[in-house]
Structure 1
Amino acid sequence: MYHSVGSLMCFIYLSIVLVLFKPVSGGIPDNPESLSEIPSNVIVWSFETDGPIMGSALVDNGIVYIGSRDSYLYAIDAATGSEIWHYKSGNQIFTTPVKLDTIICFESGNILYGVNLQGELSWSFQLYDGPVQNMHDEWDYYHSSPLVVEDTVYIGTEKGHVFGVNGRNGSEVFHCQTPGAGYTIETTPAVFNNKIYFGDWDGVFYAYNLSSETLVWQYDTKNDGTYSGWVNAIVTDPVIHDGSVFFGGRNCKFYCLDTETGEKHWMYKDPNDMWIIGGPTLADSILYVGSSYQQVAHAFNANSGELLWKKSVVHRANGKAMADGDLVYIGTQSTSDINIGTLCALNKSDGNLKTNLNLGTQIYSTPVLADGIIYLGGYNGRVYAIHKDNYDSIVYPKTYNTIPSPLNLGTFGSKGLYDSTFYFYNEGQAADSVAISDKFRQKEITVTIDPANFCIAAQDSKEVRILIQFDSLKTGSYRGTLYINSSYALIPGTHQKSITFKVDATSIKNRENNQPRKYNLEQNYPNPFNNCTMINYQIPTSGEVELSVYNLLGQKLKSLVSAWQPAGNHQVRFDMSGFASGIYIYQIHSGSFPATKKMALLK
């Protein structure tokens, strides 16, 4: 930014108005905060616990079983959300429970528990001695959850131990320990062809024989490189498909290894060196995988390793996805605010975001679908039951604007007033809540936005006047920012438009630089167009303006402008959705100036 001394010069006047859209049915309230962010028919119920929920729900026979870091395992009525019973364990619960006949199994601290369907302890199995370390660092959200195969519950734990426990009585039936230091096993094991597969915190992936409890092969991901300053921790649960095992981790790579030999079939390296730690989930030979700070989800062809798509999910996606029908569902977590997290739904075919519901908390839990209801837990300690069809049917606003960035106001004298007109459009199917604010460093610059907060309904508009005034500015270049927040968009957030202008306090340039010197009617844009188009025109002198649309027979179809307007640049949006395809004429009259142009409507 440049400043130098100058003398008081000139005053300029131009004109700004922002136009935005309003909702489809029944109108909208004047207060934007009275718009509900979550439609009332989406959340069936929510149940509150006293600790963050990291694991996923087990839904069985009309009951939701889920653990919380408050140390309790809860049994909740799936229809009503009312508590049936709870069981207090000895430590925080990070894991997802499993069921074997009449026993619910889950891990808490260094104990594997077996609880009956009345919430009473049937057995417990100590996994290791010594103090419990629930998290190795602040980004470590994972514990090995139990896996049931026939009558055996398999689980990984500290110091490289993997156990198999009889799920009916809690007796040990399998045990192996990785060589060397024996790092923590945070992945839920996979069992295939009499072998058990799992990865550890040091980045080594193992296959052990279930009968002999001996090592078959191991693959050290450190041989493929190490993410700078971090361990290669494998924290995604392995998935097995067609003789291959798939997993990812903190070394920013995703692997496909041969289940028999450990040979690498293919490997994907994230080009931005971001952890690949959400998933994988397999559906129809496609693997869906999340990521950390890259805030994307991936889809890989399981057979070839081809990256089919890589699309934004707005926040981190550290949990597993759920695939159903044409959609993939995944929970997300804001990197900066524990109160921001969403349930996203992406199209399987191209990864485009279809639905994005902010639940007001980070979501690490994998969505689970049962009888048309999606169940998942939040970092806020709540369990949510979400009506899937109603969730899938959520509609969104689609708000965009024609303000250029930067918005160059031109050159002024040391005193100026800017007052002009732009348009924002909501071409979506639902209302949006918009807030506009600004920021300039100079206290001599004042911006008036009226109204600064308003609602935009689907397929409608609203005017907002913005005036930028200043006095006694020195010669130099000035920059500010216009902030436009869209609260209910598919991807809500604040978009910025920079505002720039110059002050030349030694000459009078305002009217020359900012006012049109002659009448002009521009060609509409786009042209040809489907339904909506923009018409820009300039008038050098204030006066009456008539702008109308005609057919080729000269019959007047629509009056777009019929009013006195100040000198300046003007813009009109014209919606021809009620007209047939064809060639039309638009004509302007202002003072002694007439002009006519043609436009083509194609549907």
Structure 2
Amino acid sequence: MKKPSILILLLFHLFFTNSALSQTNNTKIVNAFSNRIFDGKGYQPLGNLKWKFKTDGKIFSSPIVKNGIVYIGSEDGFLYAIEEKSGNTKWKFKTDGAIHSSPSIFENTIYFGSFDGNYYAVNTQDGKLIWKFKTGGEHWLGEIGMWGMKPETQYMEDLWDFYLSSPVVYENKKSAVVLFGSSDGNVYSVDAKTGTLKWKFKTNGPIHGTLVIDHDKIYIGGWDATLYALNIETGKEIWSFATGTKTAFKGIQSSVSVSDGKVYFGARDPFFFALDAQTGKLIWKYNAESSWILSSAVVQDNTIYVGTSDTYALLALDAKTGAEKYRFKANGYVYTSPAIAGNTIYFGDFTGNFFSLDLRSNGKKSNFISTDNRKQFAASTLKNDFLDFGYTGQNEDLSVYDNNKKVMDQFYQLGSIVSSPFISNNTIYFGSADGYLYAYNLNK
């Protein structure tokens, strides 16, 4: 397929990962993305709203639930601990920057990063600081005159750089460490109890994705468009795999999934890849039709499920060959990482719709709910209920960066969902750009 020009791209445009994390008798791996497959039976469509919790900023962070408490970060700079039954605040912890990192919990400590340049360890019981680790600085991806947009002398932040890296906790028989990437280009391993640096590995660009551990390897990609396999004990590189680097089609924002000796991940270049986990050699790649893949895949029953940007799809791919089995079309970009419970897969889209899809129906049986904001603003923002950048920005010169930002703000007004869902006690939780954390019951 012919690649679009930057202007056409602007008209169309302008990431808790399931990974098969291995665990031996002597190791334990904990992160918000370590289990995207939850307990469940049959098809469980979305039910009624249990409660919703309002923050004072957009939510890009994904929730995690433990011991009756839901934890989530917000762009307002707070990490919130919310009672699962009532939706009431237990405590909140203030940072000096937006929290786009998803939290992880190990024992009685919750770990997360903030755009203030720190990664934090906080007590889950009372919200008190245990330690914080200062990186070389956290920031959105940006450059002067990005993608040829105007004015050419203006510094522009990437409008689709949604996340910060989310911590992963790795425990062996000797100790526990927290691992995360940083905008300074480093992968860090720090002591889980003290925050003391163990090792760091330098890449050639910011890292806003979340690493995944399988056996003795770490897999992580970043804005240098390279996926790295590192030794978990030393941080030494085992192998690396370079993806494409064309203008506007460069970078890895998703996390990998590991299954049956293969590493699966998507990139902006725009392909979805299957690599040999031991060697990093390409097995197959799927052409995403000029769509970025920011979503992190879930693998179940020899099928890969992953979202796309401009084709608005949840894809079902054959894990062995990469052949497309079917696709389910949403109403806008699918940047969330899906979650599976029983025979149901759940995910949101950029227009504020959240879907449940019956995996046995080949994309034909589903239901959805919409945010209140979507119901209010869809008619004035969307074209025939679908996201269309050119339609929403039709009165603007979309070669100008600030006009693209205006269109994105209009989309956010719908309650865009880029937060990935978490399921607990027959309830599904996800955040939205409208500032709400939603809790929906699942029908039995």
Q: Deviations over 1:219-255 (max 9, x none)?
A: 1112xxx55x314111111111111111101111000
**Superposed counterparts of 1:333-482, under 5 Å:** 333-334=350-351, 341-349=352-360, 350-359=362-371, 360=373, 361-389=415-443
Q: 1: distance between equivalents of 2:90 and 2:417?
A: 24
Q: CA deviation at 1:306?
A: 2.5
Q: 2: distance between equivalents of 1:346 and 1:195?
A: 33
Q: CA deviation at 1:137?
A: 0.7
Is 1:211 aligned to 2:233, yes or no?
yes
Q: CA deviation at 1:40?
A: 12
Q: CA deviation at 1:311?
A: 1.9
Is 1:176 aligned to 2:193, yes or no?
no
Aligned residue number for residue 222 of structure 2:
200
Root-mean-square deviation (CA, aligned residues, Å) is: 1.9
**Are residues 275 and 132 of structure 1, via their aligned partners in 2, closer, same or farther at CA, if it must alter by over 3 Å?**
closer
| Match of residue 266, structure 2, among 232, 236, 248 | 248
Is 1:276 aligned to 2:293, yes or no?
yes
Kept after mapping to 1: 8 A contact 2:304/2:317: yes
Aligned residue number for residue 90 of structure 1:
96
Secondary structure of 1:169's match?
Answer: coil
Kept after mapping to 1: 8 A contact 2:104/2:110: yes
Kept after mapping to 1: 8 A contact 2:47/2:442: no
Kept after mapping to 2: 8 A contact 1:232/1:250: yes
Kept after mapping to 1: 8 A contact 2:290/2:310: no
Kept after mapping to 2: 8 A contact 1:313/1:353: no
**Are residues 200 and 169 of structure 1, via their aligned partners in 2, closer, same or farther at CA, if it must alter by over 3 Å?**
same
Q: 2: distance between equivalents of 1:378 and 1:196?
A: 30
Q: CA deviation at 1:353?
A: 4.7
Unpaired runs of 5+ residues, structure 1, are 1-38, 335-340, 391-603
Secondary structure of 2:278's match?
Answer: coil
Kept after mapping to 2: 8 A contact 1:203/1:231: no
Q: 2: distance between equivalents of 1:376 and 1:206?
A: 29
TM (norm. structure 1) is 0.54
| Match of residue 128, structure 2, among 115, 120, 130 | 120
Is 1:139 aligned to 2:172, yes or no?
no
Q: 1: distance between equivalents of 2:206 and 2:417?
A: 24
- The answer to which structure has the higher helix fraction is 2
Match of 1:297, as an amino acid? Answer: L
Q: CA deviation at 1:279?
A: 2.1
Kept after mapping to 1: 8 A contact 2:122/2:128: yes
**Are residues 54 and 41 of structure 1, via their aligned partners in 2, closer, same or farther at CA, if it must alter by over 3 Å?**
same
Q: 2: distance between equivalents of 1:276 and 1:40?
A: 25
Kept after mapping to 2: 8 A contact 1:47/1:81: yes
Q: 2: distance between equivalents of 1:41 and 1:120?
A: 35
Structure number with the bigger relative contact order (C-alpha 8 A, sep ≥ 6) is 2
Is 1:111 aligned to 2:132, yes or no?
no
Kept after mapping to 1: 8 A contact 2:226/2:241: yes
| Match of residue 283, structure 2, among 265, 269, 274 | 265
Q: Radius of gyration: which is bigger?
A: 1
Match of 2:280, as an amino acid? Answer: G
Match of 1:114, as an amino acid? Answer: A
Unpaired runs of 5+ residues, structure 2, are 1-44, 143-156, 374-414
Q: 2: distance between equivalents of 1:285 and 1:167?
A: 35
**Are residues 99 and 134 of structure 1, via their aligned partners in 2, closer, same or farther at CA, if it must alter by over 3 Å?**
farther
Match of 1:307, as an amino acid? Answer: E
Is 1:149 aligned to 2:167, yes or no?
no
Q: Deviations over 1:382-433 (max 9, x none)?
A: 111100117xxxxxxxxxxxxxxxxxxxxxxxxxxxxxxxxxxxxxxxxxxx
Aligned residue number for residue 546 of structure 1:
none
Kept after mapping to 1: 8 A contact 2:209/2:221: yes
Q: Deviations over 1:285-315 (max 9, x none)?
A: 3211001121111012223322211121122
Q: CA deviation at 1:164?
A: 1.2
Q: CA deviation at 1:342?
A: 0.9
Q: 2: distance between equivalents of 1:164 and 1:232?
A: 26
Secondary structure of 1:159's match?
Answer: coil
Kept after mapping to 2: 8 A contact 1:73/1:87: yes
Kept after mapping to 2: 8 A contact 1:54/1:365: yes
Match of 2:181, as an amino acid? Answer: G
Once superposed, which parts of structure 1, at least 4 consecutive aligned residues long, lie more than 3 Å away? 131-136
Kept after mapping to 2: 8 A contact 1:202/1:231: no
Q: 1: distance between equivalents of 2:119 and 2:302?
A: 33
